[in-house]
Amino acid sequence: MATAMPAAEHSRKILVAVIDAHPGHRQQVAAALTSFYQVAVYERFDQAMESLAGTPPCVVLLDEKALPRLGGDPIATARRLLKGVPIIRTLARPIQQLGSAAYDTDACLEKPYRRSTLIKTISGLVNKSVEAGWETLAPHYKESLRRTVDSFNNISDLIDKGEPLVYQEITEACGPLVDAVSNHDFKVILNGVKGHDNYSYVHSLRVATLLSLFGHTIGLKGDDLSLLASGGLLHDIGKMTIPHEVLNKPGRLDDGELQVMRSHVPKSVDYLQLCDSLPKGVLTIAAQHHEKLDGRGYPGGLKGSQLNELARMASIVDIFGALTDRRVYKEPMSPEDALTMMTERMGDEIDLALLALFRAMLLDAATPSA
């Protein structure tokens, strides 16, 4: 039997389908995933295929005990009905016992497995599927996406090793993005990361794109645009050290969790300062994008004239990005609603003159001629 999601959830895409004949394990897996994904659970394979064939999920988690004993090759059936959706097989015996059948699915997990292993496996397959779609794009779009995601992932490894980033590599990775922005040809890049499972990368790429577009609109060029794009891509790298359960928590953060979340700003600054060649502007974006004009921001409680134009621009773009991002626990706000909310409710926090320019920029970018 399939477990229906609440009515409010039907508007959101099911990301992970869990097919498992054991009710206890089925619910345990679903509970482990709901902080990260929308989940649908099924007891029977045939029921799952009937339900999912019309609206395929991003990943299927299939326990071998849920496979039908008769009726041909169920994995091949799933492949045909779900049109290439990645399948993770779970089993309560050594994977070696599967022999060549271990290659019928995209991944195998032997019970008991860690929650972190499950999430990492799902995320990797989702991103691999999305990134495979980039191969069909024009070369300059593909290069922009591929180089920025590779650089972003490489930073994670550098942080783990305590090694500084190489700023020139970041600017080179952002080069195709800056070119696209300068030519008003960036929408394909933003559409290319829809469905990507690395939220921090998606948000950072959107901020990099919109911040450099903002700069282009007010007349910045060359190295200045490169600085904005690089600053946008790097502004939240401290979040790479934040636990997933805090970063992706659906509800309101408690005081302790809020403190952990806010620590991403000083962590970003501390890491970026390891790079001797980093422009001051990139550090300003990372350090001040959560500051507010009324002094109620963090981490420094800066206000008014203490915030330069770069910090004010970054704050607007970051807030707009967060409101219009899709998260597991919320639908994205429309750009119009986000801009209205920012104008009507955040007048004490952000620079309304710059916000008006930002709104005009988005309206201009939305016109066919742009």
Q: What are phi and psi of 43, to 5 degrees?
A: -90, -35
Q: Where are the domains of the chain?
A: 7-128, 137-366
Q: What is the pLDDT of residue 368?
A: 54
- Strands of 59-63's sheet, edge to edge? 39-42, 16-19, 59-63, 87-91, 107-110
Q: What is the pLDDT of residue 243?
A: 87
Length of the chain: 370
Which CATH number does 7-128 carry? 3.40.50.2300
Report pTM: 0.86
pLDDT digits (tens, 9 = 90+) for 281-339: 999 999 999 999 999 999 999 999 999 999 999 999 999 999 998 876 778 899 999 99
Task: Give residue 225's Cα distance to chain centre.
Answer: 23
Comparing 164 with 54, the larger pLDDT belongs to 164
Q: What is the pLDDT of residue 252?
A: 86
pLDDT digits (tens, 9 = 90+) for 117-163: 999 899 999 999 999 999 999 999 999 999 999 999 999 889 989 99
Q: What is the pLDDT of residue 365?
A: 82
Domains 7-128 and 137-366 share a fold: no
Which class would CATH give 137-366? mainly alpha
